[in-house]
Amino acid sequence: MARGCKDTIKKYICMHSDFHCHTKYSDGIDTVEEMIVAAIDIGLHTIAITDHVRKDTKWFNEYVREIEKLKEKYSGRIKILLGFETKILNIVGGLDANDDWFGLTDIVLGSIHSIPSGSGFFSKENSEDKELLLSYWFKSLKGLIENRKVNVVAHPFSELKEYGMSIDQDMENQFVRMVKNEDKVVEISLRHLVPDIELIEKLQYNNVQLYVGSDAHSAEELHLYHKQKKQYLMSFVEEGS
């Protein structure tokens, strides 16, 4: 996994990188090359292509071949990372991805899209018991963080927004300890605006590495989110960084 920018930006935030982008291979609009060209136009130093995968994804080998060719084509202009985003399937952090793929990638994003319920997933229709939902969510988050195949915890806590929920200080502190102990990178999501600034400060104080990810699904979104990012992160960015 790439770690080259950890010491180049104040408090470990890689402002000239984007470690979370999607293309037409999954649910994005534009091609891999169109996203790369947009990243160069923005002035990024690094872009990670991290399309959504499932265990039954058929296009993965083609995806790998295309990105490897584009790495060569744009060498010296931008660093391109081959990755994917995979969601958890259960409370122990099982991932919806083929085991053979992990050795082919530079970066793996793990995320919670739906909160496992033990016998499926919670939804707005079966989430009346907020205490139970939060308990299963936290177990799932712990399983995700402890999964050694995951490098980056993507858009943490965004899944709770759907239910209008947040976490208390104790749970927040447990999260910080877990990602630190497991040496996980935490994504600062420009799309979902998570974590909040107070938690970012706490993660930085504990020397947890943070990466900026737009979660852009088009070149247009890539431009939009990176135009807005300094406003979101202004207190962490040195002038001219």
In a domain, 241, yes or no: no
In a domain, 105, yes or no: yes
In a domain, 231, yes or no: yes
In a domain, 122, yes or no: yes
Query: Residue 69: which residues within 8 A CB-CB, separation 6 or more?
Result: none
Q: What does the pLDDT average to over 87-105? A: 96
**pLDDT band at 235, cuts 50/70/90?**
low
In a domain, 38, yes or no: yes
Helix (H) or strand (E) holding 51: strand 46-52
- Nearest residue to 233 (alpha-carbon basis) of 197, 202, 209, 206: 197
Q: pLDDT digit string (tens) for 28-47?
A: 999 999 999 999 999 999 99
Domain that holds residue 162: 10-236
pTM above 0.85, yes or no: yes
Q: pLDDT digit string (tens) for 159-197?
A: 998 888 888 999 999 999 999 999 999 999 999 999 988
**DSSP alpha helices (H): ranges in 162-210?**
169-181, 197-205
Split into its structural domains, the chain has a count of 1
What is d(CA 232, CA 191) in angstroms, rounded to the nearest whole number?
Answer: 11
- Count helices and strands in the chain by DSSP H and E runs: 7, 7
**pLDDT band at 236, cuts 50/70/90?**
low
What is d(CA 32, CA 66) in angstroms, rounded to the nearest whole number?
Answer: 8
Name which residue leads in pLDDT, 125 or 236.
125
In a domain, 1, yes or no: no
Name which residue leads in pLDDT, 122 or 233.
122
In a domain, 227, yes or no: yes
| CATH number of the domain encompassing residue 225 | 3.20.20.140
Sort 30 into a burial class: Cβ within 10 Å, 0-12 / 13-18 / 19+: buried
Query: Residue 23: which residues within 8 A CB-CB, separation 6 or more?
Result: 30, 31, 32, 34, 35, 49, 51
